[in-house]
Structure formats: C-alpha cells, structure tokens
Amino acid sequence: MLTVEQQLSASSHNQALAALTFLYVHVLRAPFERIPGIVPATRARREPVVLSPEEVGRILRQLDQPHRLCVLLMYGGGLRLTECLTLRVKDVDPERREIVVRAGKGGKDRRVPLAVSAIGIIRRRFAELRRSWYRDYRTGVRSTGLTPALERKYPNASRDWGWSYVFPATRTFVDRSEARRRHHLHGTVLQRAIANAARASGINKRVTSHSFRHSFATHLLESGADIRTIQELLGHSDLHTTMIYTHVLNRGALAVISPADRLRVE
C-alpha cells in the first residue's frame, strides 16, 4: 500500500518495515512472520547535484553572516551540515589552515583544509564570539554536546573558550540539571538560508547543504587531485562511495563526446 497507493519513497518504506519489526519483537514480544515478497526497498541511485564555482559564488553573495561562512567552510573543506554546525573554536586552526572534524560520520576524526579566503573571516568571527562567550562565562552559560564522561574528566570544558561553538545559537535553554546552556545553530536555519539564496541567484538546481560537499569533491577531481586523497578528506570508509564523483566530472555523460558535436550544422 505504501509503495503502490501512496507512492512513498524507499526510505519511508524501510522505516515503516523497521517500525513494525520493532513493535512485534521488542514491544509485543511476539513472532513477526514477514509476508512473502515484502522485503526492504532498494533505494534508487541518484546522481549528486554539483554546482559550478561561479554558481557557488553567486550563492555566497546572496548570504549574510554567519550563513556565508558556513557555506564557505562546507565548500572549502567538504564538510557535512552537522560537521560544520558543531565545529568548536579549538578545532579551527587559521595558522595551519586546517579544520579538525571530530566524531564525523562513523565516529571518525579527520582533517580537512581551511580555505585561505576564509581565514580573515574566521579571525573576525572569533573576535566577535570572544565577546559573547565572555558574557556567557560570567553568567554561567555552558556549551552543549559534551559527553558525561568528558564533563567528569574536564568539569570546566563546557565553559571553556576552546570548547564553545563557532556557530552558536542565539538563544539559551535550561537542561534537566537546571544548567543554562547554549546549543549550536540549528540545521534548518542554514538549510532555509541556502534554499533562499539559490532561488535568489536564479539557479535551477535542487541546491542543499550537501551540494557544496559534492561540489568540493568534484572540483578537486577536475583539478587533478588523487581519488584516495579525496576519500580521506571526505571521510569515506569505502572507495566506491567516493568513486561516484568520477561520473559527474565536467566531461559529459560517461566522459564521452557526443556524436552530435561533430556535426557541422547551423
């Protein structure tokens, strides 16, 4: 019914199947006999949306800070949305021109480049954040995202300048322990800003935050970077995941020349 009548995606199909399995196995403690032919849906492979450098520049010009810096870091280092928004001050090193991504997808750390064009913006950002962080420090506002084990080992880490977010939220909240905390910028805020900027730029592509990561990898390949290096920068465990970008290089479909291009017609 989900597939035929409601025409839901493979992800929704699998989510419903997983929910039924959890209900019977873990809640009702009853055997769950699957109907023959009902199997997890296979997701269709989609080609990633890749922007040209000119299109990235047009989007950047439509964005205000700190959204412009977020996009610049995602495009300049291949960061995922959450990896960008959860960056802490101590993990951005303008001197070494690098960013350390902590506990990325799969719980892995990795190092990615910090674009030279972003260094001046980062330093100005740090100067602004330092003042707001000091106000939080005096009023006892703490950062989020630290594990209980880390808070036990470093009791003052949540109030330390290095552990504060590069993109903090504008509002604070009180947690269960009655401590006032400040989270990072919410992902939907940045996603909405990117969608509006792409629309204002007149770009007729489905631009999301992940498009800048796709563009980062594709443009590196086009400039001659090694596929293994790109795999490491993106944090992919399997090289086959990175190989998808070899199919979207700026050489036409399947890297061939269309026979129509050899015709001499006006």
In a domain, 257, yes or no: no
Pair (124, 179) in one structural domain? yes
User: What total number of domains does the chain contain?
Assistant: 2
Q: Of residues 153 and 107, which shows the higher confidence score?
A: 153
Catalytic residue among 67, 75, 165, 245: 245
Catalytic residue among 181, 182, 213, 219: 213
What is the rounded distance in angstroms from the CA atom of residue 165 to the CA atom of residue 233?
Answer: 22
80 as an active site residue: the answer is yes
Pair (67, 126) in one structural domain? yes
Pair (37, 58) in one structural domain? no
CATH of the domain at 69: 1.10.443.10
In a domain, 260, yes or no: no
* Residues whose CB falls within 8 Å of the CB of residue 247, separated by 6 or more in sequence, listed in order: 47, 254
Give me 89's structure tokens: 């001050």
Q: Model confidence over 218-250: pLDDT tens digits?
A: 999 888 888 899 889 988 888 888 887 776 665
Catalytic residue among 58, 102, 105, 183: 105
In a domain, 64, yes or no: yes
Q: Model confidence over 55-88: pLDDT tens digits?
A: 999 999 999 999 999 999 999 999 999 999 999 9
Pair (114, 131) in one structural domain? yes
Catalytic residue among 80, 142, 182, 184: 80
134 as an active site residue: the answer is no
Q: Which residue range forms the structural domain that includes residue 17?
A: 1-44
Cα 209 to Cα 24, 29, 134, 212, 241, distances in angstroms: 37, 41, 31, 6, 18
What is the rounded distance in angstroms from the CA atom of residue 216 to the CA atom of residue 234?
Answer: 9
97 as an active site residue: the answer is no
Pair (234, 113) in one structural domain? yes
105 as an active site residue: the answer is yes
247 as an active site residue: the answer is no
Pair (84, 161) in one structural domain? yes
34 as an active site residue: the answer is no
Pair (68, 174) in one structural domain? yes
Q: Model confidence over 84-105: pLDDT tens digits?
A: 999 999 999 999 999 999 988 8
